[in-house]
């Protein structure tokens, strides 16, 4: 459903991304779903890049697609899942 | 002594044997999905062995107070199990694949699994794999296409899909090309463990002898290959023993060969069945990721994986006793109509959603980036070189996807205009 939000609402989402380094197993699936937002560091653990324009919907795919749910998305101090 | 303990483990797991399902299937289960959807509508969780071979199969019970085989058909329930590896253990594989492969990461729980997986995973990161894309995969695929391109028709299952993953994995491991036919034979031997015990054990032993010599050689003289990387891999003082490496390599052959060849076949089948989607992909190769992910949702090559409950659990509101074997039907989860609209249709343009075609949780497919890259290179080569590719209307064949535990097309007879 998340991609079907009106464009202006997606643009209004300003998300904070948290990665739980203990949970992250370095699957790289976040990099697959949102390559502009995530990368793997030298230690194989996910890191957040400067998020690209219009990547919000992909961030939700990365969050949902993380096999160990190491990624959480936050807005105004509140955790958000797929809108 | 070895065979006595093996017999015991086999007897223990006999009531729930995915390979038995596979056998009935190679017999020919064409479409188990309607039956799975019927069962899921009653409950995401069922007890007892379930027969998928006929239309008048008895209905499996919805409750059980004693440990019997459990089958899970709902998406959210499958994801819950795969995320809870402290309740749902992978040690169930010790008595199945463990017998022919040895102690692989497939059958390990935390904390050992985390360490072992971290030791082997660097080689499977997408950036590391980039070097193989042009240097290896495209050239292997092109060679195979060269052999039939001028003919204007081919069976892509036998002439392309079956041949390339084994060459790719063998080269990544650093094994000589002259041995490739043996790997193919050993691979089939390993996965036929239920239907042909002697053959599986013979393949396992031949692989042990062959690979042990290679591991010893790489310890003396490291080369530019995965086995050399595994020999020196170290994390927080932990290293892989020869036994660990041997088991991992015996896992890699089927995991890297069987699954990729089947997944590529299922994608091609979906595309050939939907020429408008094939054409869209031909014109915009950036659509490949969504096309492949959709094929993995629609027809995952591995349709069932197993866990065992370490304690009493509740799944989708249903109590499951400790010590139950739990079969997770990935294919059914991927077609859960509570999550996916029109789930039985292959539609690469559907809303992107996470699926469980690669599994989920800490055991999620280690080779998923390699599989994605291999399938992309193969399909791109086909689209680059074989114009107007379509199912061959003159083929004396009835191509269809079949199987139960593993699913893929029986054949892909195509005709085309070679460039």
B102, pLDDT greater than 80: yes
Say how far apart CA B324 and CA B317 lie, in whole Å. 16
Rounded (5°) CA angle B301-B305-B306: 165
Structurally, chain A folds into a number of domains equal to 1
A36 assigned to some structural domain: yes
CATH of the domain at B266: 1.10.630.10
CATH of the domain at A71: 3.30.70.20
Least confident of B60-64, B320-324, B386-390, B412-416: B60-64
pLDDT, residue B161, reads 94
- The nearest alpha carbon in chain A to B235 belongs to A43
* ipTM for the predicted complex: 0.86
d(CA A41, nearest CA chain B) in Å: 11
Say how far apart CA B235 and CA B250 lie, in whole Å. 22
Say how far apart CA B179 and CA B167 lie, in whole Å. 10
pLDDT, residue B187, reads 83
> Interhelix angle for B164-173 vs B180-191, to 10°?
110
Tokens describing residue B295 = 């094929």
Q: How confident is the model at residue B28 (pLDDT cuts 50, 70, 90)?
A: low
A47 assigned to some structural domain: yes
Alpha-carbon torsion, ordered B336, B68, B312, B71, to 10 deg: -10
A10 assigned to some structural domain: yes
B41 assigned to some structural domain: yes
A80 assigned to some structural domain: no
CA B308 to chain centre: 20
pLDDT, residue B51, reads 81
Say how far apart CA A28 and CA B369 lie, in whole Å. 8
B59, pLDDT greater than 90: no
Structurally, chain B folds into a number of domains equal to 1
B126 assigned to some structural domain: no
pLDDT in tens, B302-360: 999 999 999 999 999 999 999 999 999 999 999 999 999 999 999 999 999 999 999 99
pLDDT, residue A14, reads 77
Residues of A whose CB is below 8 A from B362: 25, 67-68
Low-confidence ranges of chain A (pLDDT < 50): 1-12
A81 assigned to some structural domain: no
Least confident of A11-20, A50-59, B53-62, B236-245: B53-62
Residue B204's closest CA among B187, B181, B216, B184? B187
Residues of A whose CB is below 8 A from B126: 28, 31-32
pLDDT, residue B342, reads 97
Mean pLDDT within B251-261: 88
pLDDT in tens, B381-408: 999 999 999 999 999 888 999 988 889 9
Structural contact between residues B101 and B93, judged by C-beta atoms closer than 8 angstroms: no
| Bridge partner residues of B46 (DSSP) | B71
pLDDT, residue B55, reads 58
d(CA A17, nearest CA chain B) in Å: 19
A17 assigned to some structural domain: yes
A29 assigned to some structural domain: yes
d(CA A34, nearest CA chain B) in Å: 12
- The nearest alpha carbon in chain B to A63 belongs to B354
Mean pLDDT within B113-121: 94
Residue B43's closest CA among B64, B1, B85, B74? B74
B251 assigned to some structural domain: no
Say how far apart CA B134 and CA B54 lie, in whole Å. 46
Supply the Cα-derived Rg of chain B in whole angstroms: 21
pLDDT, residue B54, reads 65
Structural contact between residues B294 and B287, judged by C-beta atoms closer than 8 angstroms: no
- Mean residue pLDDT of chain B comes to 89
* Nearest-by-Cβ selection for A69 from B83, B121, B359: B83
pLDDT, residue B257, reads 85
pLDDT, residue B56, reads 61
Cβ pair A1:B360 closer than 8 A: no
Q: Domain range spanning residue A25?
A: 2-75
Count the helices and strands in chain B (H runs, E runs). 18, 14
Say how far apart CA A5 and CA A83 lie, in whole Å. 8
């Amino acid at each position: 459903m998340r991609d079907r939000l009106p464009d202006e609402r997606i643009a209004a989402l300003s998300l904070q991304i948290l990665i739980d380094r203990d949970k992250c197993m370095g699957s790289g699936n976040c990099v697959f779903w949102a390559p502009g937002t995530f990368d793997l560091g030298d230690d194989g653990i996910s890191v957040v890049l400067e998020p690209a324009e219009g990547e919000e919907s992909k961030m939700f795919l990365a969050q949902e697609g993380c096999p160990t749910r190491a990624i959480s998305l936050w807005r105004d101090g509140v955790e958000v899942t797929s809108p | 002594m070895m065979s006595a303990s093996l017999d015991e483990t086999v007897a223990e797991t006999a009531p729930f044997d995915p390979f038995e399902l596979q056998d009935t299937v190679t017999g020919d289960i064409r479409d188990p999905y309607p039956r799975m959807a019927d069962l899921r509508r009653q409950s995401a969780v069922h007890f007892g062995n379930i027969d998928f071979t006929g239309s008048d199969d008895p209905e499996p019970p919805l409750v059980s107070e004693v440990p019997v085989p459990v089958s899970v058909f709902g998406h959210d329930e499958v994801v819950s199990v795969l995320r809870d590896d402290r309740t749902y253990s992978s040690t169930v594989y010790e008595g199945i694949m463990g017998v022919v492969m040895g102690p692989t990461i497939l059958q390990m729980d935390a904390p050992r699994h985390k360490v072992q997986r971290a030791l082997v995973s660097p080689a499977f990161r997408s950036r590391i794999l980039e070097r193989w894309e042009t240097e290896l995969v495209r050239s292997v695929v092109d060679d195979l296409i060269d052999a039939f391109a001028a003919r204007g028709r081919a069976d892509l299952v036998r002439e392309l899909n079956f041949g390339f993953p084994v060459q790719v994995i063998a080269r990544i491991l650093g094994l000589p090309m002259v041995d490739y036919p043996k790997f193919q034979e050993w691979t089939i031997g390993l996965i036929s463990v239920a239907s042909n015990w002697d053959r599986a054990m013979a393949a396992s032993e031949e692989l042990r002898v062959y690979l042990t010599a290679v591991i010893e050689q790489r310890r003396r003289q490291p080369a530019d290959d995965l086995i050399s990387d595994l020999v020196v891999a170290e994390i927080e003082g932990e290293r892989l023993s020869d036994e660990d490496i041997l088991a991992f390599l015996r896992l890699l052959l089927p995991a890297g060969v069987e699954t990729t060849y089947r997944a590529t076949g299922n994608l091609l089948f979906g595309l050939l069945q939907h020429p408008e989607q094939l054409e869209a992909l031909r014109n915009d190769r950036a659509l490949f990721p969504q096309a492949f992910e959709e094929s993995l949702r629609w027809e995952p090559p591995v349709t069932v994986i197993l866990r065992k409950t370490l304690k009493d659990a509740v799944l989708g509101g249903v109590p499951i006793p400790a010590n139950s074997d739990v079969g997770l039907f990935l294919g059914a989860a991927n077609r859960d109509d509570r999550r996916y609209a029109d789930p039985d249709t292959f539609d690469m343009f559907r809303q992107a959603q996470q699926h469980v075609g690669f599994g989920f949780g800490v055991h999620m497919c280690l080779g998923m980036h390699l599989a994605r890259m291999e399938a992309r290179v193969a399909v791109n080569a086909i689209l680059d070189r074989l114009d107007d590719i379509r199912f061959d209307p003159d083929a004396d064949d009835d191509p269809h996807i079949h199987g139960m535990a593993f699913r893929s097309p029986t054949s892909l007879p195509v005709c085309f205009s070679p460039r």
